[in-house]
Amino acid sequence: MGDDYPSMFRSEPMSSVELYIPREVAHDTVTELGELGNVQFNDLNPNVNPFQRSFVGEIRRFEDMARRTRFFISQIEKEKDPIHIRPLSDSAPLITVGPRAALLGEHEARLLQMNESYKTLSERTKELIEARYVLRETAVFFDKAETQQGEVRSSFDDSSAPLLQYDDRETQHSSTLQFELEFVAGTIERSHIPTLERVLWRLLRGNLYMNHTDIAEPFVDPVTGVETRKNVFIIFAHGESILAKIRKVAESMGATLYPIDANADKRADSLREVTARLEDLQTVLYHTGLTRRSELMIIGENLSRWQDVVCKEKAIYETMNLFNYDVRRKTLVAKGWCPTRDLVIIQAALRRATEESGTNVVPILHELPTNKTPPTFVRTNKFTEGFQAIMDSYGTATYQEVNPGLFAIITFPFLFAVMFGDIGHGLIILFAALYMIANERKWARSNLGEASACGRYIIFLMGVFSLYTGLIYNDIFSLTLHLWRSGWDLVNMNGMEVGVPTGRVYPFGLDPAWRTADNSLVFSNSYKMKMSIVLGVTHMTFALCLQLPNHIRFKRPLEIYTNFIPQMIFLQSIFGYLVMCIIYKWSIDWTTRSTEPPSLLNMLIAMLLSPGKVDPATQLYPGQGFVQVILVLLAVVCVPWMLCAKPYFEWKEMQKIQGQGYVGLDHHDGLRHSTDEALENEEGGNGQAAIEQMEEEHEQHDFGDVVVHQVIHTIEYCLGCISHTASYLRLWALSLAHAQLSEVLWSMTLEGYLGMPGITGIIALALIGSLWFGATVFILCIMEGLSAFLHALRLHWVEANSKHYGGEGYPFMPLNFAKLDEKE
Amino acid sequence: MEGLFFNVNNGFLEGIVRGYKAGILTQSHYASLTQCETLEDLKTQLSATDYGNFLANEASLTTTIISDRATQLLVDQFNFLRSNAVEPLSKFLDYITYSYMIDNVVLLITGTLHERDTHELLERCHPLGVFESMPALCVATNVEELYQSVLVETPLAPYFRNCLSAADLDDLNIEIIRNTIYKAYLEDFYEFVGTLGSPTSDVMRTILAFEADRRTINITINSFGTELTKEQRAKLFPAIGRLFPDGNNALAKADDIEQVRLVCENIPEYRSFFDNSPGDAQDLGDLGIAAQLEDRFFRTEVRLNKEAFLQQFQYGVFYSYVKLKEQEIRNLTWIAECIAQDARDRINDYIPIF
C-alpha cells in the first residue's frame, strides 16, 4: 500500500543492497551517497579493531586537520578584537582535496612561529614592564625610607633583641653611607606574597624587612590569555648568605628578581633606559600582532569551509572503514539498507560519482534477498517530524508496523486541548507558535532555537485545538462568550434567581448561563467526567483497531481470532456499553420520564457484582438486566478465550510439524555450516558477518514461553482496560484544574479592579493587568501547558500504544552530511 | 545504623566515585590497548574509553604527556571530590594527599642534595601532594631547618617531629626520614580511620595493614647490605599491620630473603609472595625476587582496593579509587612505554584491575 507516494502509515519498505565500488571511485561514491543521505551502511568488519582498518591513515590525517582548525578557532577567539569568521553559507566551495592538508599545515606553522615570536616579545615586554614597576615602586620605598627613617625604626621598638641590634646597625649604615643596605627586589604573584613573607620570616628568624605594593594592572599571558596579578616586593636584609637564601626562595616561588641599584641617580638612569627599550619593543610587538591578525583574518575567511570539509572527509573515511576491502581486486564491498523507493536516485548518484571521478568503472549496486529485519524509516517533513519524534522516543516502530505517529498528529493536540481548553490561552500559544513559524527561516540561518524547531508545529496545532475546545467549554480567561442568546432565562422566584428554559438550544458549546449558576461546578464536572470516559474508550478502541492492519500485513490470522476479537469484545461489552449508556442518558429528557436518572457508576458496579438485577426505579431502559447479563457473560468468556486459544493453536501447529518428521533446529544447523564454508571459500569471508547476524535473528520458539507470554498479556490487558479507562479521567481532572486555576487568578487580581474610577483606577488596572497577564502566561500557559502536554504524552504512550504498538524496530541511520553538524 | 545517615553528607560523593570507578579500564580495554602499534593508535583506543578526548589537542605524543594528562584527570576528579566533601570525609581525603606530600618533600630534598634544577623538580612533583610553601624546601640544608622553615605549618609537621635527630641530609638519612615519616603517617591514618568507626575502619584497616606490611618487608629487603643497623631498621617499621609485632621483630633480625620468606609464611595471604617454583628462584637472584615481589604487592593492593568497593557506606572507596586509578595510570604508562620503545614482549606485564 502507498507504493506510489510515501506515507507515514507504515515505515518505508527497505532493501538490503550490496555495492561493489572500485577503489578509484570509492571516495566520490561515498560523497555522493552522503550528500543524498539515504543509505545506511552496515559494518562488515565487526571483528577488526578500529585502528586496524583500511583507512585509518586518512582518518588520522583528517583528525590532525581537525585539530588544526580547532587551534585556529581558539586563536581567533583569543584575539581581543573579534575576527569575522565567514559563515559556511557564504564561503566559496572547495573543489580539490589534496593541497588542503599542506595549506593548513603551512598556516599552522606560520601562526605557531608568529605566536612564538609574539610570545618571546611579550615576555620581554612583560619583564621590562615589571622592571619599570620595580624601579618605580622601589623608588617610592627608598624615598619613604629616607624621609621617614626615624619613624620606621621606632616601630621596631617593642620587638626582640636581635631585631633591635639589626636596627642599630642599619642606623649606623644609613647615617654614614646614605642607605648602603643590601636588598633583593623583584615581582611575584600576589597570592604568593603571604607565603613568601612567612617562609622568609621563619627561615631568617625575622632578620629582614620586607615591603611590597600591588601592581595595579594585570599581566596577561600572551599564549593562554590568563591574567595574573603581581606585586613588587623589596626585601632588605644583611649578609651575603642570607641574601642568597632569599633569592633562592623567592625564585623557587616563581618570583622574578631585578637588579636595582641603591643609588638614586643610577636608578633614574636605568628607568629611562628601560622605558626607551620598552617603547621599541612595543612597536615591534604591535607590528607582530598586526601580521598575526592579518594571518588570522585570512584563515577566518575559509575556516568554516575547512571545518565542514574536514568533518565530511572524516565521515567519508569512517564509512569506508565499514566496507570490506578486497586488495587484489581493488574493490570495496559495501552492504547496507536503503529505502526501496530511492533505489533509482541512488543509481543516478552512483553514475554521477563515476562521471565526476573521470573514470569509466561504475560502482555496481544490486539488491540482496535477506531475512534480517530492516531498519525503520519514516519519512517526515518539518511538520510531521515533531509528532514522529514523540512516538519514536517511546520506541521505534517495528519494521512496517502501523505507525502511531501519523495519528498522533491529530490525537495528541486534541487530548492536550481537552485538558487545556480555553480560548484565551489557546490564542496565546497559537500566536507564540505563529511567531516561531514566521521566524523559522531567520532562526534556522543563525542556528538559533534548533531544539524547538520541530516543536513549533506541535504548539501550533495545540493552540488551534485549544481554541476549539475552549469554544466548546465556552471559556475565555475563565469568562464566557455570549455569542448567541442563552437557552435559559433568569427569573426571580422567592428571592432566588432560577433559570427557566426558553426552549432555545444554545447552538455550539456550553451555554454561558451556566457560569453564573450555583451548580455550574456540578454540571461541568459531570459533563467533563463523562466526556473523558467517552473520549478515552473511543481512543482505546481506535488504538485496538490498529492491531488489525498489523496482523493482516504480517499474515497472522491467528492473532486476529485469538487476540484482537476477544480483546475487542471484552472492551466493548463493559466500557463500550458504558459509553453507550452515557450518550443515551444525555439524550433523554429526564424531567418527562417516570424513572429517576440512574447513577451510571453504580450501574456499572452493580452490573458486574450482581448481574441481572436492576432497580426498576432507576433503570435506564426496559430489559436492561437481561442485556447486561449477556454483556458480562461475553466479557467473562473472552478471558479464557484470550488465555487458552493462542497457546492451544501454537501447540497444535508444533505437533503438526513434528508429525511431519522435522526435528528441532539442530538438523538445519549442520546443513548451514556446510554452506557457510562454501560461501567463505567463495568470497574470502566477505559474507560471514552477514550470515552470523542472520543466525541471531532465529529465535527459539518454546511452548513454555508462548504460554507465559500469553498469560501475562491477558492479565495485563484485562486489568489494563479498567485502569486505562480510569486513567483517561485525567482529562477531566486537568481541564477542571485548569479552569478553576484561571478563575481563581481572574477573581484574585483583575476582577476587583475593573470598575475603579479615575486615574488611580487606570494605573491600578494597568499594574494588576500586567500582573495578571504575566501570571496567565507563566503559570497557566507554560506550567499548566507543560503538565497537560505530559499527560497527553502519557495517554499516548501508555494507554494507546499498549493496545497495538510493538515498537521493537531500530531506527534507520543513513550516512548524511547534513546531519553531521548535529552530531558534533 | 551507619547506613541511615551516611547518604546525607556522603551519598552524592559516593555515587560520584562509584561512577568514576565504572570508568576504570577493564581487561578488554587493555587487550585492545596492547595491540596498538603506535602511540597514535593508543590515543584512538583511549578515546573510546572514559578518557575521551583528553589527548585530542596534543600535537605530538610522548609517554610523559600521556601519563601527565591521565594524572591531571585523576587530580581534577579528586579535587572535585575534595571541594564537595564535608567533615570527616574532607579530612579523610586530606589524609590521602599526605602520602603524596611526603613523596614530594623527599623528592625535593633529594633533588636539592644532588643540585638539580628546582623548577624541574617542582614539575616532577605529584600534583596531589603540592602545598603552598613547598618550593621553599630547596633552601634547607639540614633537617632542623627543613622542619622549622617549611614543614612546621604543613600537616606533615607532627610526623616530622620524630626524626629531628638526624642531623645531616645525605641519601641514607633522607631515606630514613622518608620511612620514619611514612611510618608515622601510616600509624596516624590507621588511628584516624579507627575514629570513623565501622565499616570504614574495617575496610581501611585491612588496606593500611597491608600497606604497612609491604613497607616493612621492603625496608627489610632493601636494607640488606647497607649500613643501616638492625636497631635503626626496627625503628622504621610501622607499628601496625598483620606482621606486627612478632613478624616485625623477626624481620628486624633477618639477614637474607630466606628469613623474610619464613616470616611471611605465618600469614596465609602473604605466603604466595615468595611462592616460587624452585627452579625459578635460582635464576632470578635476589634482585629478581624483589622485582617479582613488587609486582605481587601491586596485585594484592589492587585486589584489596577492589574489595573495598564491595562495602557500602564507607570512605574506603575514595582511597581505593585513587589507588586503583594510580595503578591504571602506571599501567597506561607501562603500555605506552612498551609501545614507544618497541618492547612488545613485555607489554603484557601490566597489572589488570577489572
Residues of A with Cβ-Cβ distance to B119 under 8 angstroms: 252
Strands A182-189 and A496-501: unpaired
B136 → closest Cβ in A50, A51, A249: A249
pLDDT in tens, A195-216: 888 877 877 777 777 778 887 7
B253 touches chain A (CB under 8 A): no
Region A124-151 average pLDDT:
73
Region A132-143 average pLDDT:
76
Quote ipTM for the complex: 0.71
Range from A305-319, A418-432, A780-794 carrying the lowest mean pLDDT: A305-319
Cβ within 8 Å of B, A 134-193: 192
Ranked by mean pLDDT, the top range of A104-113, A583-592, A725-734 is A725-734
Range from A18-32, A196-210, A344-358 carrying the lowest mean pLDDT: A196-210
pLDDT band at B342 (very low <50, low <70, confident <90, very high): confident
A249 touches chain B (CB under 8 A): yes
Backbone φ, ψ for residue A653 (5° rounding): -60, -45
Ranked by mean pLDDT, the top range of A128-142, A760-774, B143-157, B171-185 is A760-774
Region A252-270 average pLDDT:
77
Buried b (16+ CB within 10 A) or exposed e, A382-407: eebbbbbebbbebebbbbbbbbbbbb
Residues of B with Cβ-Cβ distance to A203 under 8 angstroms: 136, 139, 145, 149
Cβ within 8 Å of B, A 511-550: none
User: Would the CB atoms of A67 and B48 count as touching at under 8 Å?
Assistant: no
A351 touches chain B (CB under 8 A): no
Position A332 pLDDT exceeds 50:
yes
Position A163 pLDDT exceeds 50:
no
Helix (H, G, I), strand (E, B), or coil: what is residue A813?
A: coil
Q: Which residue carries 613485555 as its cell? A: B346
What is the predicted pLDDT for the residue at A174? 43
pLDDT in tens, A399-419: 888 889 899 999 999 999 999
- All three cell numbers of A744, joined, read 481563581
Position A712 pLDDT exceeds 60:
yes
B56 → closest Cβ in A50, A67, A199: A67
User: Would the CB atoms of A199 and B133 count as touching at under 8 Å?
Assistant: yes
Residue of A193, A202, A241, A243 to mutate for B, most B C-beta atoms under 10 A: A202
What is the predicted pLDDT for the residue at A166? 47
What is the predicted pLDDT for the residue at B134? 78
User: Would the CB atoms of B133 and A251 count as touching at under 8 Å?
Assistant: no
* Mean pLDDT, all residues of chain A: 80
Q: Which residue carries 517511546 as its cell? A: A394
What is the predicted pLDDT for the residue at A576? 94
Residue of B325 and A657 predicted with greater confidence: B325
Tell me the residue ranges of DSSP E strands in A341-434: 364-368
Position B347 pLDDT exceeds 80:
yes
Q: How far apart are CA B243 and CA B263, in angstroms?
A: 8
Residue ranges in B197-256 assigned as alpha helix (H): 200-223, 230-236, 246-253
Residue ranges in A323-403 assigned as alpha helix (H): 343-357, 385-392
Position A732 pLDDT exceeds 90:
yes
Residues of A with Cβ-Cβ distance to B148 under 8 angstroms: 202
Percentage, residues of chain B above pLDDT 70 = 92
Residue of B54, B109, B130, B133 to mutate for A, most A C-beta atoms under 10 A: B133
A5 touches chain B (CB under 8 A): no
pLDDT band at A786 (very low <50, low <70, confident <90, very high): very high
Residues of A with Cβ-Cβ distance to B31 under 8 angstroms: none
Position A78 pLDDT exceeds 50:
yes
A61 touches chain B (CB under 8 A): no
- All three cell numbers of B335, joined, read 603500555
Alpha-carbon distance B43 to nearest alpha carbon in chain A (angstroms): 10
- All three cell numbers of A263, joined, read 643609588
Q: How far apart are CA A731 and CA A419, in angstroms?
A: 5
B142 touches chain A (CB under 8 A): no
What is the predicted pLDDT for the residue at A148? 57
What is the predicted pLDDT for the residue at A693? 45
A71, closest residue in chain B (CA to CA):
B57
Residue A738, class by beta-carbon neighbours within 10 Å (0-12 exposed, 13-18 middle, 19+ buried)? buried
Helix (H, G, I), strand (E, B), or coil: what is residue A416?
A: helix
A47, closest residue in chain B (CA to CA):
B32
Region A72-91 average pLDDT:
70
Residue of A59 and A459 predicted with greater confidence: A459
Instruction: Determine the straight-line distance between the first and last CA of chain B, rounded to whole angstroms.
Output: 31
Position A157 pLDDT exceeds 60:
no
Whether the CB-CB separation of A534 and A579 falls below 8 Å is answered with: yes
pTM over the 0.80 mark: no
Q: Which helix (H) or strand (E) holds A266?
A: helix A264-322
Region B290-314 average pLDDT:
86
Alpha-carbon distance B307 to nearest alpha carbon in chain A (angstroms): 32
Position A688 pLDDT exceeds 70:
no
Position B27 pLDDT exceeds 90:
no
Residues of A with Cβ-Cβ distance to B36 under 8 angstroms: 51
A49 → closest Cβ in B35, B118, B148: B35
User: Would the CB atoms of B57 and A71 count as touching at under 8 Å?
Assistant: yes
What is the predicted pLDDT for the residue at A823? 47
Whether the CB-CB separation of B296 and B272 falls below 8 Å is answered with: yes
Q: Which helix (H) or strand (E) holds A331?
A: strand A331-339
Alpha-carbon distance A453 to nearest alpha carbon in chain B (angstroms): 30
Long-range contacts of B58-66 (CB under 8 A, 24+ apart): B59/A67, B62/B340, B63/B39, B63/B333, B63/B336, B63/B337, B63/B340, B66/B39, B66/B42, B66/B332, B66/B333, B66/B336
Whether the CB-CB separation of A166 and A238 falls below 8 Å is answered with: yes
Q: Characterise A32 by phi-psi region: left (phi > 0), alpha (psi -120 to 50), beta (else).
A: alpha
Q: How far apart are CA A34 and CA B282, in angstroms?
A: 65
A245: how many CB neighbours lie within 10 A of its CB? Answer: 22
A203 → closest Cβ in B44, B122, B149: B149
Residues of A with Cβ-Cβ distance to B37 under 8 angstroms: 51
Percentage, residues of chain A above pLDDT 90 = 19
Alpha-carbon distance A239 to nearest alpha carbon in chain B (angstroms): 16
B149 touches chain A (CB under 8 A): yes
Whether the CB-CB separation of B251 and B220 falls below 8 Å is answered with: yes
What is the predicted pLDDT for the residue at B165? 64
What is the predicted pLDDT for the residue at A428? 93
User: Would the CB atoms of A202 and B118 count as touching at under 8 Å?
Assistant: no
Q: Which residue carries 588542503 as its cell? A: A100
SS (H, E, C) A151-205: HHHHCCCCCCHHHHHHHHHHHHHHHHHCCCCEEEEEEEEHHHHHHHHHHHHHHCC
User: Would the CB atoms of B138 and A248 count as touching at under 8 Å?
Assistant: yes
B149 → closest Cβ in A192, A199, A254: A199
Residues of A with Cβ-Cβ distance to B132 under 8 angstroms: 192, 195
DSSP single-letter state for residue A423: H
What is the predicted pLDDT for the residue at A207? 74
A56, closest residue in chain B (CA to CA):
B41
A243 touches chain B (CB under 8 A): no
Whether the CB-CB separation of A396 and A810 falls below 8 Å is answered with: yes
User: Would the CB atoms of A248 and B139 count as touching at under 8 Å?
Assistant: yes
Region A266-291 average pLDDT:
83
User: Would the CB atoms of B44 and A253 count as touching at under 8 Å?
Assistant: no
A264: how many CB neighbours lie within 10 A of its CB? Answer: 14
Position A376 pLDDT exceeds 80:
yes
A199 → closest Cβ in B41, B45, B136: B136
Residue of A249, A251, A824 to mutate for B, most B C-beta atoms under 10 A: A249
A577-586 helix and A520-545 helix, angle to the nearest 10 degrees: 140
Position A431 pLDDT exceeds 90:
yes
What is the predicted pLDDT for the residue at A146? 66
Handedness of CA B119, B125, B127, B130 (dihedral sign): negative
Alpha-carbon distance B298 to nearest alpha carbon in chain A (angstroms): 30
Percentage, residues of chain B above pLDDT 90 = 13
Region A594-598 average pLDDT:
80
B150 touches chain A (CB under 8 A): yes
Alpha-carbon distance B44 to nearest alpha carbon in chain A (angstroms): 7
Cβ within 8 Å of A, B 51-80: 56-57, 59
B118 → closest Cβ in A67, A70, A252: A252
Position A111 pLDDT exceeds 70:
yes
B139 → closest Cβ in A71, A192, A249: A249
pLDDT band at A821 (very low <50, low <70, confident <90, very high): low
Position A327 pLDDT exceeds 80:
no
Range from A136-150, A320-334, A416-430, B194-208 carrying the lowest mean pLDDT: A136-150
User: Would the CB atoms of B132 and A195 count as touching at under 8 Å?
Assistant: yes
What is the predicted pLDDT for the residue at A601? 86
Alpha-carbon distance A202 to nearest alpha carbon in chain B (angstroms): 5
User: Would the CB atoms of A50 and B118 count as touching at under 8 Å?
Assistant: no
User: Would the CB atoms of B135 and A67 count as touching at under 8 Å?
Assistant: no
